[in-house]
Structure 1
């Protein structure tokens, strides 16, 4: 029972009336996300665990970003894929090589930004007043590039969004490579949710970086 034994619970959610994007919507959205990312926490993680889709997401606090990304993002998803038989034995060696390279591939202590955590187009709405509204977060404090990477995994947003974000808060060199590493988490999550249709994408990232 949601409220505990003998205690009924309820879920209270805000209703968002949808509208249409007006001129400058994507640019305002990009600037707004950069402003959100300016809010930072003490470390990487969150005060409680949550969910990514229907699967648990671990948010144990870490002082080092690559250590957090390996222990709280990649390793739990890999463990689920192994347990379900969706993980290929051929991926083991490149995965270990990727783990060994994370300190080189990812920044050690980027600002721990508050993140949406699952920012694809289905979780971004246009509210009635024409502004962007984000739903279904998988929130934690982490490297802001993970949110941007996720927006590009399934087609991406309009170019004005990215231009405005980068104008508000430029990205460090090497983002394109880090984007692929960060999206490996979401690809394995989709492998766990939806099956072998994502196996080729997982294998491709592991071959590139491992």
Structure 2
């Protein structure tokens, strides 16, 4: 095998894949057989970028010893040091700094590695980077909280369709600038200068699919009603006058107001437990709360149908797993092995773990409002409004009414939530009975995410989905009865 040119089925170089998944033995084997340590993937990233992002320090060391460039820049201008700083991987940061990775390099949005660390609340990592830069280059590097990417927009102004939703008065001036980033929409900040000289800010998303913003508006509305301090208040969603684009207007999260010595409100774990414990409304035509939501919602670009169902096991099996199977086949083609495994999971495992006569014991479970897409990139700490304090906040939801532990599936997949977070959360929201099956339920909920990621991003997630299904079937399939 020529490791230099060999690639996985998804066109990801094998050295990148092994570096991402932390397979040190394979990395060493690929390097010994001539893999190109400088090779890049479709995003301009080297294998060192992958290892640094995931915090795989031994692999980072091996790649550096094979003369990987510590200052290689991807297509956004970020180096491996930016990646390690973003995720707070201190050992990888130190490894990179040891071989003289340059902490002064700015990405295409003008952010140094320490800025990305601060933006993601990895303050001790940021301090390591600032101290190293001061030591090497002889100037004091101050904390940088002004690290949210934004660029002045010279031409366009706020569409007149947005104006009625803003508190404009005589003497109020308005400005508009690109702000933040999103994979599915354009994002901007609206600044109002009041007669008093103070400023008010609003956040605006625009895009071609109005249903996306309708779903996000209703999701934010439901979360804000249940726990007002947990997310920005949605203000409006509508279409622009040209009818070709739509918008969502919300309160603005000031992430630059963070002060570690400033008191905050309830923690993220407390707020999430409160959200999951708030009674949910009863839809018209039903006598009790049910699972689903009154409109479709979106996770990234994936539309989620939310057809009402009184049975959680039926909803999850059919409206989530069976639906995402169709997405995979549409995007990746028929897969008989997938279909066979998933069919057994839906028919055998889902009823055993989530059946109404089993889950929750004698009392059963009640629907809970979930954020629906709560990974590390959809949480932050910031201030909303001129008079509020700094809070733990969430955004970009794709909500519906579900078993509360469904939320924990994606939260446990990609990091960003410590064991201390889950311990605190379960003090306020205990694990559902049977507690012994808690880990298996979370793994079952992760299956939906693995399948969804397979549909969106390619075959590297197929093995995750397959392994998950095989384990669940081994433990809970009918053959084990």
With normalisation by structure 1, the TM-score equals 0.90
CA gap 1:4/1:107 in 2 versus in 1, 3 angstroms? farther
Structure 2 unaligned spans of 5+: 1-207, 211-238, 281-288, 357-363, 384-388, 474-481
The reply on whether 1:36 has 2:275 as its aligned counterpart is yes
Alignment correspondent of 2:351: 103
In 2, Cα distance between equivalents of 1:156 and 1:51: 22
Select the structure with the greater relative contact order (CA < 8 A; seq sep ≥ 6).
1
Alignment correspondent of 2:304: 57
Check the 8 A contact 2:374/2:397 in 1, yes or no: yes
Task: Give the match's secondary structure for 2:401.
Answer: strand
Structure 1 unaligned spans of 5+: none
* Greater helix fraction, Structure 1 or Structure 2: 1
* Greater strand fraction, Structure 1 or Structure 2: 2
- Among 310, 314, 318, the alignment partner of 1:67 is 314
Check the 8 A contact 1:120/1:150 in 2, yes or no: yes
Deviation, 1:143, is 0.5
Check the 8 A contact 2:332/2:455 in 1, yes or no: no
- Among 175, 179, 196, the alignment partner of 2:442 is 179
In 1, Cα distance between equivalents of 2:458 and 2:259: 34
Deviation, 1:182, is 0.3
Check the 8 A contact 1:21/1:126 in 2, yes or no: no
Larger radius of gyration, structure 1 or 2?
Answer: 2
- Among 352, 372, 384, the alignment partner of 1:117 is 372
Deviation, 1:86, is 5.1
Task: Give the match's secondary structure for 2:393.
Answer: strand
Instruction: State how many pairs are aligned.
Output: 210
Alignment correspondent of 2:326: 79
- Among 407, 411, 421, the alignment partner of 1:161 is 421
- Among 404, 407, 419, the alignment partner of 1:144 is 404
Task: Give the match's secondary structure for 2:314.
Answer: helix
Structure 1 residue runs of 4 or more that deviate by more than 3 Å after TM superposition: 1-10, 20-25
Alignment correspondent of 2:129: none
CA RMSD of aligned residues (A): 2.5
In 2, Cα distance between equivalents of 1:43 and 1:22: 43
When structure 1 is superposed on structure 2, of 120-129 and 154-163 the one drifting more is 154-163
CA gap 1:22/1:171 in 2 versus in 1, 3 angstroms? farther
Alignment correspondent of 2:247: 10
Task: Give the match's secondary structure for 1:206.
Answer: helix
With normalisation by structure 2, the TM-score equals 0.41
